[in-house]
Amino acid sequence: MRRVLIPQNLQTLPPQLPKGEQHTITGQSMGTTWAVRYINTHQQSNDAVHALIQHELDLVVAQMSTWQEDSNLSVFNRADANTWHVLPASFFAVLDCALKVAAETNGAFDPTIGPLVNLWGFGPEGQRTSPPDTTEVKALHTYCGWQKIKLDSEGMRALQAGNVYVDFSGIAKGYSVDRIARALQNASIENYLIEVGGELYGAGIKPDGQPWWIALETSPDATSVTESVVALHGLAVATSGDYRRYFEHHGQHYAHTIDPRTGFPIDRASNALVSVTVLHAECMVADALATAFTVMGVDAALAYAKQKDIAALLIEHKADGFKEHFSPQLMAMME
């Protein structure tokens, strides 16, 4: 049995069905894989389209990777205290969005969580198989706090307050999807489905008139949950789950999603969310909110989603199995 979701605010449908073959291009970037399916209505070469996509991904890596020492982000993270830095446009846009989501979620999403991401073994400094000492966590936690970063929108500048280490792992993939979508549109490719590391965006339709149908990702353990499929027509999907990256130690599960307010990974005992999916017009926003909702927990996430008209699916692990929670905006897609 499947649950079918239809977006309430569809993009304008094309006046006629697209003509051309469906092509698929794949590659690797940001430590993950990417794939783009598109209808080749203008007989463009796959090599040219591949190069266009790779250019967008390379730009995001060059500006926002913590894994590259010469990226704009790494240079900012190493900068002296109390120094202002002019940022490239894309870097500034992502940082601006990240800080707005941080403010609106009371710090459940925080781009300055980088020192703790590294300490817990989920950053470029390498993996670990046991948790760090609590004193280490508390010491590095003092370096975090999205309020430490000040922006000068007119000058496209950001203030490095000192020892502030920004990490865009909860938003950069979504932003890369948005950039690819704009690049495809500018290249007169109007019917496509983009996927970067599990984050997606679809636009247009196929030659048979069907939209791009995708199944929403859930925890591999949640086999009892009804599969949900959604028509991606001018819509992005991002999912955060405690099963994606983690390590276990003495029976304790340590997920890659760290609560910026405590400095520790979300605890299954107090926050039983195993999967959060957000649907939004911008993949960057969906990506950040999926992370924030995972940290916030069921009640706070649903309250935020209702207030902001966000479509979200939350899957909670309870003693008797898994329970789905739907925001009102998502429930409207089922009607």
Q: Is residue 130 part of a domain?
A: yes
Query: Can you give the pTM of this predicted structure?
Result: 0.92
Q: Is residue 250 part of a domain?
A: no
Residue 76 has pLDDT above 60, yes or no: yes
What are the backbone dihedrals phi and psi of residue 186, each rounded to the nearest 5 degrees, phi first?
-65, -25
Q: Is residue 101 part of a domain?
A: yes
Give the CATH number for residue 136.
Answer: 1.10.3980.10
Total structural domains within the chain: 1
Residue 12 has pLDDT above 70, yes or no: no
Residue 319 has pLDDT above 70, yes or no: yes
Classify 95 as helix, strand or coil. Answer: helix
DSSP 244-305: SSEEEETTEEEES-B-TTTSSBPPTTT--EEEEEEEES-HHHHHHHHHHHHHH-HHHHHHHH
With a pLDDT cut of 70, the percent of the chain lying above it is 90
Q: Is residue 114 part of a domain?
A: yes
Question: What is the domain extent for residue 128?
Answer: 65-160
pLDDT of residue 188: 94
pLDDT of residue 35: 98
Answer with the residue of higher pLDDT: 130 or 293.
Answer: 293
Q: Is residue 112 part of a domain?
A: yes
Q: Is residue 270 part of a domain?
A: no
pLDDT of residue 252: 67
Q: Is residue 185 part of a domain?
A: no
Answer with the residue of higher pLDDT: 286 or 254.
Answer: 286
Give 191-205 pLDDT, tens digit per residue.
999 999 999 999 999
Average pLDDT for the chain:
89
Q: Is residue 72 part of a domain?
A: yes
> pLDDT band at residue 250, thresholds of 50, 70 and 90?
low
183: Cβ–Cβ under 8 A, 6 or more apart, which residues? 52, 53, 55, 56
Give 129-151 pLDDT, tens digit per residue.
778 888 998 999 999 999 999 99
Give 203-245 pLDDT, tens digit per residue.
999 999 899 999 987 766 666 678 889 999 899 999 987 555 6
pLDDT of residue 275: 87
Q: Parallel, antiparallel, or unpaired: how do β-strands 273-280 and 235-241 relate? A: antiparallel
Residue type, 104: E
